[in-house]
Each structure stands twice: as structure tokens, then as C-alpha cells.
Structure 1
Amino acid sequence: MAMLLSPSFVFAGALLLSGAAHAMSDAELQAVVGQRLHGDRTGACFATAVIDGDRVSRAYVCADGGADMGVSARRIGPATAFEIGSVSKPMMAALLAGLIREGKASLDDPLSAYLPEGTRVPTFEGKPILLRHIVTHTSGLPAIPAGMQHADPANPYARLTERGLLDALSKTTLSRAPGAQFEYSNFAAMLLSYAVARRAGEDFETLIDERLFAPLGMTRSYIGRKPDGATVATGHTPDGKPTSPWDFPTDFAGVGGVRATLDDMVRYVQAQAGTAPKPLDADFALTHVAIPNDAKTPMAMHWMIAQLNGRSFLAHEGGTGGFSSFVAFDPKQKFGVVILSDTALHGVGGLGSLGLHLLDARVPLGKPLKPEADAGPAPMLSADDLKAYVGEYPLVPGFALTVRAEGATLTAQATGQGAFPLAPKAKDVFAFADAGIVIRFRRDAAGKVVALALEQGGQILQGMRK
């Protein structure tokens, strides 16, 4: 669980509450973000923009800035480059769209055609994984490659190699037909990033710089080659502690390796409304088109779609070990929102509440995360106490969380992933702060632990104990 690039789907339902949106001044935006962050226990900083055509309001706000926080957000500013995590994926989709426009690719191509000769790519009853399955997260591939369970959770993708990625693919089996079910997969996205770079004949960073960053004037956006003028943000865990950046092998970086400033992301969102230079405007337009799929998931090319009274929003959230991001826009109305944070908030609610409120003020803003004053000190648990939680908890078909007691430490391990320690926070509540994971155990009337709820990335998965 520690190594997932975390998307959040909180907007998918909440957008149904929304209506028409409107622009605001810098001061108004600063006040709204300040209300959301004032006293927030995470100490997070937000770089936020509301885009209404050519009109843009911006605010740089930190939770620990007090009454003057909108002015004195010292950690971040216009030059600050944030890890945008999975918001990188729609950028990768635009590069694929360019290859499609040039006749070098098709969504109906099998993934196998883009990989080195001899690579074993799993099929299901003869049905291959197509590119359309990858960009809609219906490939059937798991969340991460096999073997990554031993990766460093503080920087999990840094040591992944081409051979390791392809070997993991060769050992993977599909439990269902590609296209049948939505399952978010960073594994599939890494393969697509690698495939796009191979088909284009350039490394991924050169490709995205030439075809996207340079045409849009995103001069402070990068993957590994930091440009002059960009200041690297320090990421933070939800408890406010600095954490190491995440590094990606260049050709896998489409999964979540882009770093960008707020102004660059504003340019990116503005360009989605048809103002990008040719032929990039056509590539963006192609990524906006809904892709029919058997799973009936409202998806375009790595954009999630929410329909609203004849209006359509394209959106994506992202998260790495120390950062969170939110992008949503209506290309027809030329209206959008960007939020970049230097704190991993996807396990404690994410950026969705603020993002939705900025899209429409009738959606509740969300409250700052206050210290849990009545929680008291973390409980001291003996080895015998921990045994009460041990067991297997299926969360979804084929995916379970196994909880073990190892001496005085409780650990959890998700199917196909590595074990991670759980720190007690309150009665029957444990956390793994590095990945923004909170686990709440539930007892029956007799006091026996019978279930758990796992919270991460703004999502909650529940499982009954076997």
C-alpha cells in the first residue's frame, strides 16, 4: 500500500451537487483557502488557482501562517515545483494522442505491439490488453508490479528497471477479460509510458518537453532535469514531517513523475479549452473524448468524467509520498481549478472538498483537520493485545489485507504488496503515516474484532475478518 500513486475519486459523486461556477479575485480565493487551512493540524501548504478563461485568481496559503497566512506562505510561491503524481497520466495521454494523430498508434492496438520482441504479455481467454484498456484503467493488470513489495516506501519507484518491469509483466496472470472491470493500475500506466517513449523513439522526458511543456510555455515543469528558475518543494507526510521526493526512471515517469509550478499548471488547464498551439490542441481534444468500455466507467484518455446537467467536467487527483494535487475543468466553459499541495493528504480526505467548492460554492468547503484533543496519548499495547487484530480481511475480490502481530508490532500486507508497520493511534485505530493509511478495527458485541476499514486516498475499503 505504501507505494501506490494515489488517485482520489471523491469528485465523482460530489460533482452532481454542483451548478454554474464563477471566477473570484485573488483576495476572495485567499480567504476561501485560508478558511479551509486555518489551524489544520497537517501544516500543509496549498498553491491554488481558479481559471475562468483568461482570468486567473491565485493563492499561496499555508496552514501554519496564522491570520496573515495568505501573505506569508513562506514555504511555497510562484517558482515552487510540486510533484503532481497521477495528474501526470493525462499528460502522457496527450502524448499518446499525438502518436495516434500521426498514424503511429491506435487505441485498438495491443500493448504487446509496443514492447520488445519476445515480451510475454498476459491475455485472458485469448483477449489481449489493448491501449484503450490502459487509458481507462480496465486492463486487468494489478495496481503495482510484482516484486515492488520490497521497494523502499520512501522512494518506491526509483530502482525499478526496464527488465524488472517486463519480467513482472511476464509473471502476471489476468483473472478477467481486459475491459471488463475498472481497477486503477499504476503498473499499466508505467507500461504505457514506456511504450509511448519506445514508439516515439525518444526518452519520455524529452518527448513531454518537446511536445507539451515547450509549446505551452511550461518552463518550470520537468521530470528529472530541473530547469533554471524552478524551486524544488519539500514534501511532507500528513503529520507535517518532511519526506523524501519520489524519483522515477525516465521512461516510466508518465505514471506520476512530473513536477510543475502552479502557473505552469494554469497554462496546461487553459490550453485544454482549445487554445493550445496546433497540433497539440487536437491532441488535447482527443484525450477529452469518452471511451466506451464494458465496465461502464465514465472515462476519457486518463481523464475521469463527471456529467452535470449537460455539462462535463474532466478531472484527476494525484498523490505521492509527500504531495497532493487536484485538477478539474470544463473545457466548454473554459473554467477550471488547480490545487497543488506540499503534503500527502490523500489518506486524510485529500483536496477534493476544496476543489469541488471552488468549482461551485454550493458544495461544502470542508473543514480543517483539527488535533484530536480527546484522543489522548497513543495506547500502549502488549503482544497479546495485538493478537486480537490478527487475520485476513478481504477488501474486494482478489484483494485482501493480512494483519500479523510480529512481537510488539502490528503489520499489514495487501495482496501482492509488501508488509508495513501499523502504529497505534487510539483504541482500535492504527496508522501508517508514510502512505497516509488509517485502519479502524470494529468489534462485535462480545468485544471480538470482526472487521476493519482501511482509509487511503480519500477512499474507504471495508473487510470482514475471515
Structure 2
Amino acid sequence: NNEASSFQYVSSWSKLDDSHLSIPSGAGAIVSTVSDLTVFINSLLTSEKLITSTSLDQMKTTIDHFGHGLFKVPFYEDSGFGHGGSIDGFKSELYYFPTSKIAVSILSNGLALNLNDVLVTVLNIAYNKDVELPDFSEFNISSELLSQYEGTFSSPSFPLKITISSDGNSLKAQATGQGAFPLTAVSQTQFEFSGAGIKIMFDKLEEGTYKEFTFTQAGQQFTLTRED
């Protein structure tokens, strides 16, 4: 029906089943295009074609960045309004920045990167800021060395244990009660899972095994130590 299917990436790409649109109702039962969404957000925030200015002011009034159907997002000296969403393997971001009159809409049906990183990069380009494009090159680690990283790691300050194990010629990590996710080698000691913005840096190689690693996500950093 000229609609996209969604996919997820865990070691390899796999197609996801579609949720019936009666399930999310108004929270997610929307099929659209980036062009239509851009027209919509422009019309919503720059005119009274859709709602009155009084209603729009109510939507834009935020407490702790939450408004009525809108998020307020800062970007350097500017601020925008909009909303993001996800269902199955679909993800979306839609924002309008009134001062610069810039609208941005991103739709994805399969993503192995952090969507916010994509959004920030697009905005940097639109605002003529410096842009650092991602490096997709991978560091190859021989299968003989994978045992150096394997084990269960924990920390009193971190709520979950993380188990590192090998998956063929690569590594994967699994936190307590959660699904496993692949780790991409950036160097011999640094790994990442871009889809969730996770970075793991191994340290203290002793007797053929790494004894701890630094876990970084969303600006927070924890040191986890090997249990065995």
C-alpha cells in the first residue's frame, strides 16, 4: 500500500511486525511524510489556520520543558517546539524554531544510530554550525582476543549488572532483565552501541582479562568491575 515496513538491528537487520493502528489510537496511528509534517508544523506555529493564537499559547506554555502536546527544545540561542515519537521500528522527530523560521522533520523505519544525534547534526547544518559526521569504520578484533572482555560487571552505583559475551567474531552486552545489544569496536578498548548512545571503555588488562570498564550514556558515567 505504498507504506514502509519497519526494521530493527541486533547484529543484523530484521523486519518487525506492524502494530495495528487501532492499538495506539491518536498517540501513534498517523501515517505521513516528512514534507506533510513540515507543512503541518509550519501551519501550526506560524498562523491561525489550524488553531487560535490563544490555544497555541496554551500549547507552548511549558513546565519542565513539557507543554500541551509540544516539547520545548533549546538549540544554542534559539528554541523550538515540536514532538518526537516511536512505534515498532519507526521513529520520528518534528520541530519548528520560530526565531530562525527553520522546520525539521525526520522519519526513520530502521535506525542503528541515536535519532537525537541525527537531529542535532541536521540542525547544525541548517544553522551553519560545525558538523562532525559519524565515523562508520570498525576496529577489527581477532576472535582469539574476545575472551579478554567476557564476564559479568557490576558497580554499587549502577542499578544493573552487565554481562559481556562473544557472538561469533564480535561482542554483545546484556544488562539485567534486558535484551542483548551488539557492541561495535572503535579501538581495542573502546566499544559502542550507537542506537542507544552507549559507550564502553575497558581498562586494567591483567592476566589476559579486562578487570573493569567505564559505561557512558546520556552524559552519565559509571565504572563497573568484573565479578569473576
1:330 is aligned to: 97
- Given candidates 215, 219, 228, the residue that maps to 1:453 is 215
- The residue that corresponds to 1:354 in the other structure is 121
Change (3 A) 1:332 1:232: same
The CA RMSD over aligned residues, in Å, is 4.1
> Does residue 403 in structure 1 map to residue 162 in structure 2?
yes
- 1:439 Cα deviation (Å)? 4.4
TM-score by length of 1: 0.37
CA 1:431–1:330 in 2, change beyond 3 Å: closer, same or farther? Answer: closer
Conserved in 1, the CA contact under 8 Å of 2:6 and 2:18?
no
Task: Judge conservation of contact 1:305–1:314 (CA < 8 Å) in 2.
Answer: yes
Give runs of aligned pairs for residues 376-391 of structure 1, distance below 5 A: 376=140, 379-380=143-144, 386-387=150-151, 390-391=152-153
Q: Deviations over 1:392-412 (max 9, x none)?
A: 2467xxx63312368988652
Deviation at 1:303, TM superposition (A): 0.4
- When residues 234 and 249 of structure 1 are mapped into structure 2, their CA distance, relative to the original with a 3 A threshold, is closer
Pair 1:313-2:80 in alignment: yes
> What amino acid is the match of 2:203?
R
Cα drift, residue 299 of structure 1: 3.7
**Inter-CA distance 307–424: structure 2 relative to 1 (3 Å threshold):** closer
Matches within 5 A, 1:148-167: none
Distance (Å, rounded) in 2 between the aligned partners of 1:381 and 1:445: 12
Partner of 1:366: helix, strand, or coil?
Answer: coil
Q: Within 2, Cα distance between the matches of 1:249 and 1:424?
A: 33
**Match status 1:392 vs 2:160:** no
Partner of 1:3 in structure 2? Answer: none
Which of 231, 246, 250 lines up with 2:2 in the alignment?
Answer: 231
| Uncovered stretches (5+) of structure 1, i.e. residues with no partner | 1-229, 292-296
Deviations along 1:105-151, whole A, 9 cap, x unmatched?
xxxxxxxxxxxxxxxxxxxxxxxxxxxxxxxxxxxxxxxxxxxxxxx
Alpha-carbon distance in structure 2 between the residues aligned to 1:283 and 1:304: 16
**Aligned residue identity for 1:449:** K
Q: For the structure 1 residues 356 and 410, does the alpha-carbon distance in structure 2 shift closer, same or farther, using more than 3 Å as the test?
A: closer
Cα pair distance change 1:342/1:251, threshold 3 Å: closer
CA drift at 1:419: 2.5
Q: For 2:32 and 2:102, how far apart are their aligned partners in 1?
A: 20
Candidates 342, 346, 360, aligned match of 2:109: 342
Question: Contact between 1:236 and 1:243, CA under 8 Å: does it hold in 2?
Answer: yes
Q: Tell me whether 1:462 sits opposite 2:221 in the alignment.
A: yes
> Within the alignment, does 1:262 sit opposite 2:24 as a pair?
no
Contact 1:326/1:355 (CA < 8 Å) preserved in 2? no
Residues in 1 aligned to 2:89 and 2:135: alpha-carbon distance in whole angstroms:
17
- Matched AA of 1:464: T
Q: Alpha-carbon deviations, 1:398-448, whole Å to 9, x = none? A: x6331236898865225xxx3222445434556668x55644133147574
Greater relative CO (CA pairs within 8 A, separation 6+): 1
What is the Cα deviation at residue 232 of structure 1?
1.4
TM-score, length-normalised on structure 2? 0.67
- Equivalenced residues, count: 216
1:290 and 2:56 aligned: no
Instruction: Give the structure 1 partner of residue 132 of structure 2.
Output: 366
Structure 2 CA distance for partners of 1:461 and 1:256, relative to 1, 3 Å: farther
Offset at residue 366 of structure 1 (A): 3.2
Q: Which residue identity is paired with 1:304?
A: K
| Closer, same or farther: CA 336–384 of 1 in aligned 2, 3 Å | closer
Cα gap change, 1:356/1:338 in structure 2, threshold over 3 Å: closer, same or farther? same
Q: Give secondary structure in 2 for the equivalent of 1:339.
A: strand
Verify the 8 A CA contact 1:306 1:313 in the aligned structure 2. yes
Cα 1:443–1:270 change in 2 (3 A) is same
Higher strand share: 2
Q: Aligned residue for 1:222?
A: none
Q: Residue 257 and residue 403 in structure 1: after superposition, are their counterparts in 2 closer, same or farther (change >3 A)? A: farther
8 Å contact kept, 1:353–1:365: no
- 8 Å contact from structure 1 (residues 412, 419) kept in 2: yes
Answer yes or no: is the 8 Å Cα contact 1:322–1:343 preserved in 2.
Answer: yes
The residue matched to 1:232 in structure 2 has which SS? coil
> Is the counterpart of residue 442 in structure 1 residue 210 in structure 2?
no
Residues 24-59 of structure 1, C-alpha deviations (whole Å, 9 max, x = no match): xxxxxxxxxxxxxxxxxxxxxxxxxxxxxxxxxxxx
**1:419 is aligned with what amino acid?**
Q
Structure 1 residues 346 and 360: alpha-carbon distance in aligned structure 2, compared to 1, 3 A threshold: same
Distance 1:269 1:318 in 2: 15
Secondary structure of the corresponding residue to residue 201 of structure 2: strand
